[in-house]
Amino acid sequence: MTRPFPEFLGFRLPALDGSFWRRMARFGARGPTWFSRFSPPLIGVAICAFSPRQRRVMRENLRRVRGPRSRLHDTADVARIFATYASCLSEALGGATAGGKLPEAAIDGDEHVRSALGERRGAIFATAHTAGWEVVGPVLRKRRGLPVMIAAAAERDAAARSIQDQARRDQGLEVAHVGDDPFAGLALMRHLREGGIVAMQIDRVPPGQRAREVRLFGESERIPEGPLRLAALTGAPVVPVFTAREGYRRYRVVASPPIRLQRSAGAAEIDAAAQQIADALGGFVRAHPTQWFHFR
């Protein structure tokens, strides 16, 4: 979410993507277990209550995904999205707390991850703003012993970006900000050629970046072209990977079959690969409609 919250009784809540809430989430994650478990969802619901525009956006988005429901059902699901978001943010920024242990993460489709990594060309994880997507990197780094790089557009709030990036680095992840650095692509290619994993979100197109048209939930949408071009240039397979939160510090990772592109891939092949990614995202979100933080 990039816009500030509206005023409520003369008070303007800080923007959800700003540094204030990240500091609060980091503070909460480092408190006693009962506090880190129960305070984030309560804060998330409170933010939801004071944010009519964001509630409307999420209600419309839910209806795109699963069709119209009763007003009571929509209200409960929107509140659940905000509560889950707050919990995920706290657990991500808290890093390896809880006795130094990473969150639990079961992997559905682990054979697809093994198949992609078995080619020794690295792998591109096409992910999205789903619940706990930040968990995938640390878990795979620990289980596979492979370097993981998060490639994302730089956040507009420099302080928030610093907090988020430091939390990633504390868990052994590398960070590359794409879009504002003309040499960022070279770092990604080098990382893949060394056998590493590059995680890139595909459900938002940063300003100025090229995109491909796809069908998502029966409507025309756009996903970034960068991951697909990177796959064609390096030979690294693209694995759609999405995550859902199942409880306190407990997640499920869902991986789809790898998508492979040749260096000579033409527009039709790239469009087909883009649609495969969109289909994987659509299937996941339909199964977990309150786990997609698509606040736009």
Residue 149 has pLDDT above 70, yes or no: yes
Kindly tell me if the per-residue pLDDT of 181 is higher than 80: no
Residues 115 and 27 placed together within one structural domain of the fold: no
Nearest residue to 120 (alpha-carbon basis) of 187, 188, 192: 192
- Domain co-membership, 61 together with 148: no
Average pLDDT over residues 4-33: 63
In a domain, 202, yes or no: yes
In one letter, which amino acid is 260?
R
Q: Is residue 23 part of a domain?
A: yes
Using an 8 Å Cβ cutoff, are 236 and 124 in contact?
A: yes
User: What CA–CA distance (Å, rounded) separates 80 from 91?
Assistant: 16
DSSP class of residue 149 equals E
Looking at residue 8, its pLDDT comes to: 46
Output the pLDDT for position 110. Answer: 92
Query: How far is residue 111 from each of residues 108, 116, 118, 235, 277, measured CA to CA in Å?
Result: 8, 9, 10, 19, 18
* Of 241, 213, 209, the residue nearest 124 (C-alpha): 241
Of 93, 122, 152, which residue sits at a domain end?
Answer: 93
- Is 112 contained in some domain? yes
The answer to whether residue 234 scores a pLDDT higher than 90 is yes
Position 136 scores a pLDDT of: 77
Does one domain contain both 25 and 112? no
Predicted TM-score (pTM) above 0.75: yes
Tokens of 246: 């199942």
Report CA dihedral (4, 162, 184, 257) to the nearest 10 degrees.
-80
Task: Note whether 155 and 112 are same-domain residues.
Answer: yes
Structural domain boundaries, residue 71: 7-93
Give a yes or no: residue 1 inside a domain: no
User: At residue 186, does pLDDT exceed 80?
Assistant: yes
